[in-house]
A and B are shown apart, each in its own frame.
Chain A
Amino acid sequence: MDLLGYGAFFLTTALIFSLVTLGLNLQWGLTGLFNVGLAGFVAIGAYTSALLTTPDDAARLGGFGLPILVGWLGAMLVGGIAAAITGIATLRLRSDYLAITTFGVAVVVQLVALNAQKLTGGPFGIGFIPRPFGGLAETPLLFNLSNLAVVSVVTLIVYLALEHLSRSPWGRVLKALREDERAAISLGKSARFYRVQAFAVGGAIMALAGALQAHFTGFIAPDNYLPALTFQVWVMLIVGGSGSNIGAVIGSILVWAIWAGSGALTSVLFSPEQQARAASLQIVAIGVMLCVILLVRPNGLFGDRPWRPRFGKRVRVATGESGTAS
């Protein structure tokens, strides 16, 4: 019985990760936009929803006590806008600039979460975030299962919507732009607008995932949104195979299982004083895993990106893109 409860808890967390990964897959897998600050967008969603739905709190701004659903929609809206602004700033430039800027977004969001006490509660975060089916908290199993049901439904809706989008003409344009960054830049405004849209929708999905997580645990703090989160989600997408939505979901569940399993293992194997160190070794292992997958099997389990090596460039050109093919 306890196992069932843990299973539900595990799956809920894994599915929330899947949502983030699905958002990233729209940005990277479908559109080729590189986001290394996704923890920032997840945090934006979590904090927005928390602010909108928590009861009034004298110590900080808001606590508007709005319904949970409003919180989720607000999270998506704010996350989407933040992503759109990031995209507008960088998508006319080389992809590296987007990477650097998203990285900066995550740093700044972390900074605001830590220091803007009036808004975010500072290092102690925000508590008393209303949970859907909070009334069931007395019976943990039922509570866990109902949470799982909610998260599953949301994930399924997002999944189906993304599948539909990627097959639509809109998705085909994105794929075409992904294949040729220079063309995407030189095609000008209309192409850029498509990419900004994709980046914004991806950001909104990440924010929604952050909001779900906040309402699922009932408590958020800046520590939840460190760069390690960004990193985990990237590994999930790469393992699953970028470009594939089903790959994103399965990769998330798989990597989360490895992560949680190795975490449980270290807590058994190492004494409490050594656990912080062991945890860092866990990140080393995952980092190495990411690099190895990129080297050995860049398509992951289900990826669709055509990684055709460009023969002439591969053989002879040691650097960069300014190849000799013409």
Chain B
Amino acid sequence: MRQTVLDVRDLEAGYEPGVPIVRGATITVDKGEIVVVLGPNGAGKSTLIKAIAGLVPITGGTVLLDGKDITAAPAHTMVRLGLAFVPQTENIFPLMSVEDNLKVACGILMPRETPARIEEMYGAFPDLARQRRTAAGNLSGGQRQMLAIARALIVHPKVLVLDEPSAGLSPKFVSMVFEMLAGIRKSGVTILLVEQNAKAALAIGDRAYVLVEGKDRHEGIASELWNDPVVAELYLGQRRLNPERDRHSGKGSAA
């Protein structure tokens, strides 16, 4: 039976009053699945996901997590409620060591279990274990992303929400990050992510939404969406018209 973890209904959100960027988006994420939100540049994907995480003011609609209304919950309570968010950039504390990054995240919720949880994360991400004393700002782009994800996972969230985890990474790291996400899902974590890199995201996703002008315009099984004519029209077609941008945003480069 399907069990809905995250239920977003008719969400309206934006930075300025009277200027909504997200205009009535409805998405659901079921337990154990990876849901991908796609959309052209400026569609409001990032704003949608930040609004869910409590970082952008919500002006309409509701967000339910495990049936509980979290629409008005302040950002810093989201982790406690079970929603862990990984921002696209600046997603680590650069001057703190890898270990302190993990400690500060875990210590807020479960100070007693922190050492065990950190070891658990080191087991899952051996690269981080090797660099535990390194200042996070000195890690490579891929390792930073790894640390950011480990930092979110360490509190065992009900749902992991990621904003373009592949942005700014070199192709090698992009595939590494997506493999990592697929592995995380296998361990039972529910994932919602926003992506520019549609092909890679659809490859690991179960379902996907296409967001256009702040609304969800299309929903479908991830593996089918890539060939869906409506999607091609809405999103992929538009990108084909603009090969230059495609090259930049699709592949990206190492930061």
Spell out A's residues near B (CB within 8 Å).
310-312, 315-316, 322, 324-326
- Determine the distance from Cα of A325 to Cα of B16 in the docked complex, in whole angstroms: 10
Give the Cβ gap from B168 to chain A, nearest Cβ, in Å. 13
| Contact-residue bracket for chain B | 10 to 19
Give the Cβ gap from B228 to chain A, nearest Cβ, in Å. 30
Partner of A316, one of B17, B46, B55, B89: B55
Q: Is the beta-carbon distance between B57 and A311 smaller than 8 angstroms? A: yes
Total A-B pairs in contact (CB under 8 Å)? 23
**Residue contacts A-B, CB under 8 angstroms, 9 given:** A311-B15, A311-B17, A311-B57, A316-B54, A316-B56, A316-B75, A322-B90, A324-B55, A324-B56
> Which residues in chain B, 1-57, are within 8 Å of chain A measured between CB atoms?
15-17, 46, 50, 54-57
> Which residues in chain B, 134-178, are within 8 Å of chain A measured between CB atoms?
none
Complex: chain B residue closest to A315, CB-CB: B57
Give the Cβ gap from B195 to chain A, nearest Cβ, in Å. 17
Spell out B's residues near A (CB within 8 Å).
15-17, 46, 50, 54-57, 74-75, 89-90
- CB-defined contacts of A310 to chain B, threshold 8 Å: 15
Give the Cβ gap from B67 to chain A, nearest Cβ, in Å. 25
Give the Cβ gap from B27 to chain A, nearest Cβ, in Å. 21
- Determine the distance from Cα of A310 to Cα of B90 in the docked complex, in whole angstroms: 21
Complex: chain A residue closest to B89, CB-CB: A326
- Determine the distance from Cα of A37 to Cα of B153 in the docked complex, in whole angstroms: 51
Complex: chain B residue closest to A310, CB-CB: B15
Q: Is the beta-carbon distance between B50 and A316 smaller than 8 angstroms? A: no
- Determine the distance from Cα of A315 to Cα of B46 in the docked complex, in whole angstroms: 19
Give the Cβ gap from B137 to chain A, nearest Cβ, in Å. 15
Give the Cβ gap from B42 to chain A, nearest Cβ, in Å. 13
Q: Is the beta-carbon distance between A324 and B50 smaller than 8 angstroms? A: yes
- Determine the distance from Cα of A311 to Cα of B56 in the docked complex, in whole angstroms: 9
- CB-defined contacts of A325 to chain B, threshold 8 Å: 15
- CB-defined contacts of B57 to chain A, threshold 8 Å: 311-312, 315-316
Q: Is the beta-carbon distance between A311 and B16 smaller than 8 angstroms? A: yes
- Determine the distance from Cα of A326 to Cα of B57 in the docked complex, in whole angstroms: 14
- CB-defined contacts of A324 to chain B, threshold 8 Å: 50, 55-56
- Determine the distance from Cα of A316 to Cα of B56 in the docked complex, in whole angstroms: 8
- Determine the distance from Cα of A169 to Cα of B57 in the docked complex, in whole angstroms: 38
15 extra interface residue pairs, beta carbon distance < 8 Å, beyond A312-B16, A316-B57: A310-B15, A311-B16, A311-B17, A311-B57, A312-B15, A312-B56, A315-B57, A316-B54, A316-B55, A316-B56, A316-B75, A322-B90, A324-B50, A324-B55, A324-B56
- CB-defined contacts of A311 to chain B, threshold 8 Å: 15-17, 57
- CB-defined contacts of A322 to chain B, threshold 8 Å: 90
Complex: chain B residue closest to A324, CB-CB: B55
- CB-defined contacts of B90 to chain A, threshold 8 Å: 322
- Determine the distance from Cα of A326 to Cα of B44 in the docked complex, in whole angstroms: 11
